[in-house]
Copies of this chain bind each other. A is one copy, B any other.
Amino acid sequence: MKMLINVPETVVADALRGMAAAHPELTVDVERGMVVRRDAPVAGKVALVSGGGSGHEPLHAGFVGPGMLSAACPGAVFTSPVPDQMVRAAAAVDSGAGVLFVIKNYTGDVLNFEMAAELAEDEGVQVAKVLVDDDVAVTDSLYTAGRRGTGGTLFVEKIAGAAAEEGAPLERVEAIARRVSARCRSFGVALSACTTPAKGSPTFELPEGELELGVGIHGEPGRERRGMMTSREIADYAVDAVVEDLRPSGPVLALVNGMGGTPLLELYGFNAEVQRVLSERGIPVARTLVGNYVTSLDMAGCSVTLCEVDEELLRLWDAPVRTPALRWGR
């Protein structure tokens, strides 16, 4: 498998250096593994810190900026960051108003962020935490590590980020983040496996005529493997999986997300099918976002995330955001 890299060991540091050059509006600390809003700490504002394994770009570092994250801590590829990163990031962005950790539900992320929270609190930072576990492909039971965090992260980070930007106190930002997290569900589909730089070959075998339904963003297998399906069939399956779990009673935000290797042309076409299913199911769509936002390296495939919103959450979604990957409003 060919990659546009030097050596696997330096991919994350190289990417951070490249990001620093492209985004002078961010402070990128390559050594300490963190990307920080240049104007942080913002006086009186609650800070949001997230992070996770690399390989899901633009998540999380591409979401740092006014209206969204205060800092992101990228780990090695598919490996959660270490507590030191989050502790330093929290110290860098805390204005005294406290810090919300946005944590995707993976054993590694949870353990490292929890350790970081303890250490940061020891240093006098007030820390709240929100867990994102939106992937309905995993049964949330005692027999699993629980649902995985995927596309819902974008909604949590954007909406809670907007609340923080408006000046909401930590408790309220945390409550909003939890509300969003509770109302997000996702389902992912892989058409091809991803290849990590360290391994250099696909992380799982997906024969030519098959796809993986319910894949995770690290190439974790999902519900089942099937013969190739059309865009229409995939949309039916994915949207139904999400809707059956979420059972929305009001309008939703829709994220039609690419896993990294699927062309935007196909993704937009897939969105047409997603919208068709949603309309057939009578679910009103307030806003739709199409693109590669929560990726899995070069994996071909897509995911659908729905987030049920009330007026307040929709207003916060529409609020201005200025980050490398999400940008709107003034």
Contact = CB atoms under 8 A, between A and B. Distances in A.
Of A77, A208, A261, most B-chain CB atoms within 10 Å: A261
A4 B268 contact: no
A263 B209 CA distance: 24
A172 interface: no
A38 to B, nearest CB: 15
Given A15-B265, A269-B11, A297-B263, A230 B22 contact: no
B330 A330 contact: yes
A292 interface: yes
Of A54, A272, A302, most B-chain CB atoms within 10 Å: A272
Interface string A230-260: 1110100000000000000000000010001
Number of copies of this chain in the oligomer? 2
Contacts of A274: 18
Interface string A1-28: 0111111001110111111011000000
B192 A2 contact: yes
Contact of A5 (B209, B211, B231, B256): B231
A328 interface: yes
Nearest to A275: B21
Contacts of A22: 256, 268, 271, 288-290
A155 to B, nearest CB: 16
Contacts of A295: 263-264
B191 A14 contact: no
Nearest to A301: B4
A90 to B, nearest CB: 24
A19 B262 contact: no
Nearest to A54: B265
Interface string A185-211: 000000110000000000000001101
Q: Is the interface of A mostly helix, strand, loop or mixed?
A: mixed
B272 A11 contact: no
A298 B263 contact: yes
Nearest to A270: B4
A55 B4 contact: no
Contacts of A230: 5-7
Contacts of A261: 260-261, 298
Contacts of A19: 268, 271, 290
Contacts of A211: 2
A267 interface: yes
8 contacts: A2-B211, A4-B234, A6-B273, A15-B272, A22-B268, A22-B289, A55-B265, A265-B297
